[in-house]
Amino acid sequence: MRKVISAQVCVLLILVQALVVLPQKPINHGGKIESRYDGVAFETVMRLRKMKVDCGAFKDNFKDGCVSIDVALHCPGAQVSYVGSVTLQLIFETKSWNQAHGPNQRELSIVADAQTLKVGRMRLVPKGDTVMEEKMIETLEATLPYVAFKKIVQSQSIELQVGPSTVELREKNLAALRDLDNRVVK
């Protein structure tokens, strides 16, 4: 009889623990993360939409401008447990039309906790519309392996260097990248 009562108490404790679910506090980083399946490319893309990093505080001649990041994780097929590659876009916006990065000024280096990762030359992403705007918008893109992205996410400080431009990611940017990485099923 004592064994039956202790078994019932154990089952009751397990049920109570299963029913009591602590709500997770949402991460407030200000970024927008979306996931979608691309049936044409046969991949699932998890993306951190364009998020401002810094405006005006650069360590080069890029003045009166803003830098934003856009990051996409590409998972083959309909699954989200394996990331094939990571696309990183840096968007430079300025009112000065003479501050574009020339083809020889597009080398991307990422300094993650004093360790430098040489990513390589970034590609210029062509703009879809040709409407004349007051400000110049330049989008540079690089593809990096998921292992390099994991090093970025696990770091305490990240500095992106593109040619003469250097910008440091803020805490909210790192939190958004970590949130994006946490959506990969491990």
Q: Which residue has the higher pLDDT, 64 or 50?
A: 50
pLDDT, residue 49, reads: 96
Q: What are the pLDDT digits (tens) for 88-110?
A: 999 998 877 777 888 899 999 99
What gap in Å lies between CA 167 and CA 140, rounded to an integer? Answer: 14
Report yes or no on 154 lying in a domain.
yes
Question: Does a structural domain hold residue 2?
Answer: no
The answer to whether residue 18 is domain-embedded is no
| Mean pLDDT value across residues 26-48 | 90
Is there a domain that residue 116 lies in?
A: yes
What domain range includes position 176? 29-182
**Are 49 and 70 within 8 A, CB to CB?**
yes
Q: How many domains does the chain have?
A: 1
pLDDT exceeds cutoff 60 at 62: no
pTM: 0.80
169: in domain: yes
Does 64 map to a domain? Answer: yes
Confirm whether 4 is domain-assigned: no
